[in-house]
Amino acid sequence: MDPTADLATDLTALLPRWRIDGVDMLPPGDPAQVQALFAQLGQPATPEVLTLYATLGGMVTMDGEFWRLWSLDEVSRANQGPPSEWGVQFADFLTHSQVFRLRTAADGRSEVFAGPLSADSPPVRVAASLNEFFALYRGDPDQVLQPR
């Protein structure tokens, strides 16, 4: 089965929850822009990344769990400078108290890491893929938002 189909299903199921939370959601991104930005940032836009931004272009406000997906413009601004070994910053929790990153794995999926903005401690992997991240987020957000 196509893992991006599962991702699209989870994202589509989360949209009503985010609407109820009053999240100001941005329209989907253009796939060519997504690919160009991620290439510029040193990470290919995996099929999962393309599915994510084809469903939702980002969030202006946090959701009820205090998580927020960044717009492509925010992703671009946050990732200036040399590429990080931990991947591309793409979201935050509790207004930047924790930042989420996407790193392309050997299997072509996008691993998700979470950690503070400071370089003092490395981020931790919270999901082996975006598909896994949103499946966990949909069922129990704390599993990925507050890793132990």
DSSP 129: S
pTM: 0.93
The fold of 3-145 is: SMI1/KNR4-like (3.40.1580)
pLDDT at residue 126, as a whole number: 95
What pLDDT does 83 receive?
86
Number of helical H runs and strand E runs in the chain: 6, 5
Helix, coil or strand: residue 27: coil
Q: Note down pLDDT in tens along the chain; length 148 residues.
A: 566 789 999 999 999 999 999 999 999 999 999 999 999 999 999 999 999 999 999 999 999 999 999 999 999 999 998 888 899 999 999 877 789 999 999 999 999 999 887 667 889 999 999 999 999 999 999 888 887 6
pLDDT of residue 120: 73
Tokens at 22, concatenated: 């009053």
The three-state DSSP-derived secondary structure of 60-121 is CCCCCCCEEECCHHHHHHHCCCCCCCCCEEEEEECCCCEEEEEEECCCCCEEEEEECCCCCC
Give the pLDDT of residue 3. 63
Nearest-10 crossing angle of helices 47-55, 3-20: 30
Task: Please say whether the dihedral angle defined by the alpha carbons of residues 134, 140, 146 and 148, taken in this order, is positive or negative.
Answer: negative
CB neighbourhood size of 30 (10 A): 13
